[in-house]
Amino acid sequence: MGTTTLSGTLRARLEKQGIGIGDEVIVPAYCDSEVAAAVRETGALPVFADIEPGSLCIDPASVAAAVNERTAAVVPVHLFGHPADMVCLHALAQRHGMKVVESGEPAVVSSVEAARRRQHAEFLNARLTGVVVPRAATGTRHAYEQYVVRVPGNGRPDRDVFKRALWARGVRCHVPVRTPVHRLPGFRADVRLPETERAVGECLALPLEASMTRRELQRIVSACNALGGLLMEPAC
């Protein structure tokens, strides 16, 4: 789903719930700006919440802290193939009389492709050192639409040095979220989101496709593990 379609679909869903001028809608700052843009297009105010460090999805505890009498809804974003904590979010919404409006539909992939992605992720999880590998929260299944690791150290400079070194070794990695939405022009908000800021500085998406061979995966492992000396502290 393209970002224009995402924005239009989410706006329609919000408006269907009667959300508009005078309302506040809680959204994650660690995602695409189209979510906050769709909220603003309804006339409502996007309010930014922090993320859980493990799933990188919106943190129900941070959502709870942002709720006030104007809060009309929360928009969870299922990020990189990991679902947001919908059980906690629905319970929170019920307690406060607000709506849960999902940003979009999950990507549709065949069971064979999904199984291959999980197998590839398990291979990388078991062999990568020097980076913090993604893990699924208890009771959830990670689809690994993107394979996002953390590069520990002193923040963004270390991650970006690591990224450039991987590119030099032929690994086409990328930074999934370069700037959180609450720091973008037009959405700036004076809010403290420590886990979001940390993720922005540490996260790196490594290539992972269902069609990849074991040799291609091992090339990623070898390139990453050879760069452990760039890191300032060990992965946990």
pLDDT tens profile 79-92: 999 999 999 999 99
d(CA 163, CA 157): 10
Over residues 148-169, the pLDDT tens digits come to 999 987 556 689 999 999 999 9
- Alpha-carbon distances of 232 from 108, 127, 184, 195, 198, rounded to whole Å: 39, 20, 29, 19, 15
Residue 105 has pLDDT above 80, yes or no: no
Helix (H, G, I), strand (E, B) or coil at 11: helix
Q: Which CA distances in Å does 107 have to 1, 66, 104, 133?
A: 8, 29, 9, 22
Is 3 a residue whose pLDDT tops 50?
no
Tens digit of each residue's pLDDT (9 = 90 or more) over 22-71:
999 999 999 989 999 999 999 999 999 999 999 999 999 999 999 999 99
pTM of the entire predicted model: 0.90
Of 153, 151, 154, 140, the residue nearest 176 (C-alpha): 151
| pLDDT higher than threshold 90 for residue 130 | no
**Average pLDDT of the residues of the chain:** 90
Q: What share of the chain has pLDDT > 90, as a percent?
A: 81
Distance from C-alpha of 121 to C-alpha of 118, rounded to nearest angstrom? 5
Please name the residue that has the structure tokens 């329609």. 12
- CA-nearest of 117, 113, 141, 150 to 236 is 150
